[in-house]
Structure formats: C-alpha cells, structure tokens
Chains A and B, each alone.
With several copies, the nearest count.
Chain A
C-alpha cells in the first residue's frame, strides 16, 4: 500500500546509489520535481532508464548522477539537442556515460515484459539496423509454431520508477489521464514506485482514457503541486514551451549550466522554492 509522505523522505528512503531508476513521461507528466530531489540528494552511479530522456535527464547527466543511460530518443522536444547528454557521450563530461540504445517499440515492450514478470518480450523490428549490432540486448527468437524468426529484447525491471500524476486519493490510489504513455508499465515493472501528484482528492474525476494505479502497486505518494513543470499536467497547467527553448543556451554551456543548477536546484529546499526561484529571476523567460 502506498504511504503518503514528503518527496524528500520518499527519495531518501527508496532510491539508493547504484540503482536503476526510470522517470517516465511522454512529454506529458514528466516528473521534474522527483528528478530535482534525486539531484539534491546527490545520488550517484544511477542507471537511468527512459524512452525519451529530456531536460531532467540532461540535468541529471550534467550533474554526474548517471553511470549509464538506457533509452530510445534523447532530445529537447521541438527545440533540438540535449547538450549535457551530448557532452557526456561525445566528450565524457563530467564523466563517461555508458549507453544502451533501443527503439521506442523495443523499450515499450521491455517495460511490458518487466511488468509481466517475463524475462523477455518479442517484437518485429531491429533486423537490418545497426542498433542490432551495437546493442547486445537484442537477440533473434524463433516462433515454435510457424518457424518465423522475430526479435527478442530483455525485460526492464527498474529498482525504482518515479512518475507524476494528476491525483491520488486518501488510500494512495493514483489517477492519470490524458496521454498516459508508458507510465503504467514503467511503474508495474519496478520494484519500488514513487508517484508525485498535483493533489490528494476524496474522489477521482471521471475521464475516458483515464487509468488508476492501485495503491498496492505503489510505495510512496508525494504531493508536489506543478511537479511536472515545465512539462504539463493535463487539466492543471500547460507546457511552458518557452522554458524548453530557454534551456538550450543554458544546457549548451558547462559553466552556465553549473551556475543554473547551483542556484535553482541545489540551492533551494524543494520544488516549490525552485519554482519561485526561476520565476523571481525571470530566469526562463
């Protein structure tokens, strides 16, 4: 059963150095607050997992949090490159970053296998691509009925998955709606699950395509209003596209990046203060 607690407590209790950690979100509901807490607590040697590593992974990689990245698309959506991610891969700064690279379909099915307690998933793909050459976690598999050859990929089973959602109820059930992406599988494939939510409610609203993650599948729920900012939370606030554009020159420069992180992430107590900090400074406008 999920316990409703502070984010700091959740991260310090459930995330360890060296863990494999997935913070998922497909543009929507990206768990920025959770990532900042990991950075503030100076977790080290993490293997980060994500289909679409974006600004928060750029920040974690740039701060030296990650030893390895398992991913399928790493960019600043609609803007361009993740410069900290590129700096780590192209020039090994702040230290070399090991990568394990898949396609979206492969990553999605790896989470499905993990959530299903199967060691592998089967799909049609990778054949003839160079991914199959550089990524060892891609193997052929033969259908025992038809003899057809397909592709197998191993399950993803993160030590910890962190996601952001709209609402929790008082028992710790969590409701998400809008684009829910891979969050269900990312959560259910993990050993431990931390969810940040906009608010705790007595009863969930009705939303077609809404999903509810039952409390028993979650370890900690932490209330963090605007916890997905600058990404968006459907029904709560929109995406701050200007932030994503403003990130480009910051992420591009090691020094600027370091100062920004120092001031707005390490130098604040929590995410609420982070939001005040970047707002007061007009830092992202």
Chain B
C-alpha cells in the first residue's frame, strides 16, 4: 500500500494530496501534527497561498519551510504573522470561533466521526497507552468544520471506540447539537482508500469517493462497521505532477532537516 506503484505515487501521497485539496484559499486552519500538517502545508504551497495555518503552540500564519516535527518547532515561529500564548490560541482563536477548519488525525474513528487518541483497551488497564487528547477535543468542538485524515483499516475504523477523546457527531442525529458545541463537526474524512462524508441527517460517515485503483470492497474490508456507500461514487483525481513535486520537495527538505543536527 505504501510503495510507489505503477501509477507513480503512493497511497499515502494520494491521501495527503486529496486532503490538501479540501483546504480553500484564505482558510484559517488549526493544524494537527503529522499528515494534517503535511496536507495543510501542501495546500499553502500550491492552491492556497493565503491560508492561515495555526499551530497549538501559538503560531498564527505559520509558513514553515520544512514540516515541523512537533507543534512547537522554531520553524513555525520564524515567519509567522503572530505568535501568541497557548491560552490565547485556545481561548481567543479556537474557542472564539476564528478557526474555519480543524485538521486532525487520530488512532481510531467510529461511524460518527468521533475520535480516540487516548487508549486501546480499558482506561484503567490499557493495552496501549496513546499520547492523549492534546488540542483535539476543543478543535473538534469549536472549529467551524473538521477535516480528519487517517489510514483506513479495521484497527482504526472501529465499531466502538475504546475511548471517546474528541466528539464528532456523538451518537448521530441531533446528539452533537445537544452538547452545545459551537463548531460544526467533521465534514470529511480522507483516507488512503477514498473519501468519507457524514450523512446530513444521521451524521454517519458515508464513502463518497474512491482514490484511483481502490475498490468499494477494499474500503468495506478496512472498516470495522457496515460502511455506507454513496450511490454516485466519485473517483478522486490522481495527484498532478505539480502536486507530487511540491509534496516530495517538502518531504525531502524535511528529511534533510531531520537528520541534520540543527544547533
């Protein structure tokens, strides 16, 4: 799945490119580290030069040359429009409703777009202790919309989360609204196989597009619940040469910086 196949790009590259395309220009985007950061910066370096990237360490309008390893890399502050304290980022920006898109990854997701980044197994006796909530619960609560990006597999797309760290459409229907959140919830989940969107009524994630070469069977097989599939299933445009070049340049610069002892 991850090697460059005959098509000339990997499934991960397709996922990142598909995710990046969702980010409109001028968007204020609260960026999680990892693939979300990769996708958001790809967007900034291609079709969305005026997107405003916010990282939870307090950088607003970050323009990193290389992908940050963490949310507090110096790279993020260097060319940012503004740098504020962590309370300000969460209170004056995220909670205030200034964030158009919250861009999140996760370890597990359920059919309503709820996310787990806390534990596998029980909370008291975890099989795997994951890093925890970080900024995700409030991003999920307060961003106008949320984009989620993660690889599709039965281990990740589960019938029931071991732990609800961040709320999507809760138990579906009106249940998110009843929690009093001001943000709109997840509007898209981008995986290495395709694209899922919530049903407008029930909030249940529905497969709406497949990446070139993926099949409905693959997607169903990689999902821990009985996956809804849209009648008019789209096929994602493959990555353009331009997108691939920018993405690979970015990754190369990042890998070089990562090996280099910067200090």
Contacts and interface: CB of A to CB of B under 8 A. Distances in A.
A18 interface: no
**Chain B, interface residues (CB within 8 Å), range:** 35 or more
Interface in A137-173: 148-149, 171, 173
B52 A181 contact: no
A182 interface: yes
B131 interface: yes
Interface residues of A, number: 78
B8 interface: no
Given A1-B26, A104-B138, A109-B90, A242 B261 contact: yes
B118 interface: yes
Interface majority SS on B: helix, strand, loop or mixed? loop
Contacts, number: 242
A212 interface: yes
A211 B73 CA distance: 18
A273 interface: no
B138 A77 contact: no
Interface stretch (B57-65, B201-209, B232-240): B57-65
B91 A109 contact: yes
A242 B263 CA distance: 11
Contact of B135 (A28, A105, A171, A182): A105
B214 interface: no
Contacts of A171: 81
A236 B179 CA distance: 46
Most buried by B among A25, A78, A215: A78
Interface string B16-50: 00000000001010000100000000000000001
Nearest to A245: B258
B51 to A, nearest CB: 10
B70 A214 contact: no
A178 interface: yes
A128 B90 CA distance: 19
A103 B70 contact: no
Nearest to A171: B81
B250 to A, nearest CB: 15
A99 B164 CA distance: 17
A123 interface: yes
Given A73-B133, A75-B131, A125-B95, 9 more contacts: A74-B129, A101-B133, A105-B135, A129-B133, A131-B133, A179-B58, A211-B82, A241-B257, A242-B259
8 contacts: A74-B131, A90-B125, A105-B94, A111-B87, A131-B137, A178-B83, A179-B59, A237-B263
Lowest 5 A-B CB distances belong to which pairs?
Answer: A238-B262, A27-B72, A78-B69, A77-B70, A237-B263
Interface of B: 26, 28, 33, 50, 52, 56-61, 68-74, 76-77, 81-87, 90-92, 94-98, 118, 123, 125-129, 131-138, 141-142, 163-167, 170, 175-176, 179-182, 257-263
